[in-house]
Amino acid sequence: MDDIRIDAIFEKLRGHDAHTILEGLIELNRSIPKLDSDTRKKLASAVSSLFYIDTVDMPEFTTVVDMAVKVVAGMGPELIPYHLQEMQGTDFKALLCYARVLAALGTDSINPIVEACERSEENHLLVGAIYALSKIRDESVLKGFPLIVGLCENPAKEVRDTAVRALGKLVQHLPPSCFSPDQRNKAFEALMGATHDSSPGIRAKGVRGLGKMEDRGLLDPQTREKTHERIRQVLGRHENYSWDTAYIVRREAEEALEHFAG
Q: Which residue has the higher pLDDT, 189 or 243?
A: 189
Assess whether 60 and 20 both reside in one domain. Answer: yes
Instruction: Indicate if the pLDDT at residue 43 is higher than 70.
Output: yes
Helices (H), 120-246: 123-134, 145-151, 157-173, 181-194, 200-215, 221-234
Assess whether 128 and 49 both reside in one domain. Answer: no
Gyration radius (Cα) of the chain, Å: 21
- Residue 68's domain comprises 1-75
At 261 the pLDDT is 77
Nearest to 179 by CA among 213, 208, 228: 213
Q: Is 107 exposed, middle or buried (0-12, 13-18, 19+ CB in 10 A)?
A: middle
At 210 the pLDDT is 98
At 262 the pLDDT is 61
Average pLDDT over residues 7-13: 88
Contact residues for 3 (Cβ-Cβ < 8 A; gap 6+): none
At 242, the pLDDT band (50, 70, 90 cuts) reads: confident
Assess whether 143 and 257 both reside in one domain. Answer: yes
Average pLDDT over residues 25-52: 92
Domain count for the chain, please give it: 3
At 203 the pLDDT is 98
Average pLDDT over residues 84-99: 95
Assess whether 92 and 26 both reside in one domain. Answer: no
Domain CATH for 234: 1.25.10.10
Q: How far apart are CA 239 and CA 227, in angstroms?
A: 15
Assess whether 112 and 202 both reside in one domain. Answer: no
Count, residues in the chain: 262
Domain end: 118, 134, 150, which one? Answer: 134
Q: How far apart are CA 184 and CA 49, in angstroms?
A: 41
Assess whether 114 and 177 both reside in one domain. Answer: no
pTM for this predicted structure: 0.91
Q: How far apart are CA 213 and CA 157, in angstroms?
A: 23
Assess whether 64 and 97 both reside in one domain. Answer: no
Q: How far apart are CA 247 and CA 256, in angstroms?
A: 14
Q: What percent of the chain has pLDDT over 90?
A: 85
Q: How far apart are CA 160 and CA 155, in angstroms?
A: 7
Assess whether 142 and 129 both reside in one domain. Answer: no
Q: How far apart are CA 215 and CA 180, in angstroms?
A: 17
Q: Which residue has the higher pLDDT, 260 or 108?
A: 108
Assess whether 159 and 236 both reside in one domain. Answer: yes
Query: What is the dihedral angle through the alpha carbons of 203, 205, 211, 215, rounded to the nearest 10 degrees?
Result: -170
Assess whether 48 and 109 both reside in one domain. Answer: no
Average pLDDT over residues 1-20: 83
Domain end: 24, 41, 75, which one? Answer: 75
Domain end: 94, 115, 134, which one? Answer: 134
Assess whether 146 and 242 both reside in one domain. Answer: yes
Assess whether 91 and 175 both reside in one domain. Answer: no
109-123 confidence digits (pLDDT tens):
999 999 999 999 999
Instruction: Indicate if the pLDDT at residue 163 is higher than 80.
Output: yes
